[in-house]
């Protein structure tokens, strides 16, 4: 299940996109509009910087800027950055290693299939699709 990390990160990015291309938006404003604390948003923003989705500007009039236009950022990238993974089961995650029951497990391919439809969906939607037209 997607936790507040992924959900808030997505709302934050959409909020940035709404303020216009290349806008430099401080978290204080996002926090107010979205009803999420600045401190929590800071942590999520840092994950999005690591994933090359945002860049930051420090000091007064500083804030965060989307690196790419909304059409070129898909939701899957945001969720994977915030959540670590969108995999529906632990055995599909990168750091899980190879399950010792893998060869005899009748369910593994089922979970792989579920993962595929999830990835296809989240990677098929861009931030631009979620920003309401003005």
Among all chains, which residue has been given the structure tokens 């299939």? 113
Q: Taking a C-beta distance cutoff of 8 angstroms, is the pair 76, 84 a contact? A: no
Residues near DNA (CB under 7 A) are 3-5, 26-28, 36-40, 42-43, 45-46, 49, 56-64, 90
Beta strands in 1-134 (DSSP E): 54-57, 63-66
20 near a copy of itself, judged by CB under 8 A: no
**Shortest separation between residue 35's beta carbon and a copy of itself, angstroms:** 7
**Shortest separation between residue 111's beta carbon and a copy of itself, angstroms:** 8
Nearer to a copy of itself, 62 or 69 (CB): 69
Nearer to a copy of itself, 58 or 134 (CB): 134
Q: Please state, in angstroms and rounded to a whole number, the distance separating the CA atoms of residues 125 and 61.
A: 31
Beta strands in 26-78 (DSSP E): 54-57, 63-66
| Residues between 64 and 103 that touch a copy of itself (CB under 8 A) | 75, 87-90, 101
């Amino acid at each position: 299940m997607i936790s507040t990390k992924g959900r808030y990160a997505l709302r934050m990015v959409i909020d940035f996109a709404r303020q216009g291309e290349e806008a430099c938006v401080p978290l204080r404003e996002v926090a107010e509009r979205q009803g999420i604390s600045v401190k929590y948003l800071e942590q999520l923003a840092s994950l999005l910087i690591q994933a090359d989705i945002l860049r930051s500007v420090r000091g007064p009039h500083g804030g965060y800027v989307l690196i790419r236009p909304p059409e070129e950022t898909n939701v899957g990238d945001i969720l994977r950055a915030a959540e670590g993974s969108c995999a529906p089961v632990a055995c599909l995650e990168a750091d899980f290693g190879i399950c010792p029951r893998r060869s005899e497990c009748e369910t593994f391919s089922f979970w792989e299939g579920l993962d595929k439809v999830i990835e296809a969906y989240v990677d098929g939607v861009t931030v631009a699709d979620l920003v309401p037209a003005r």
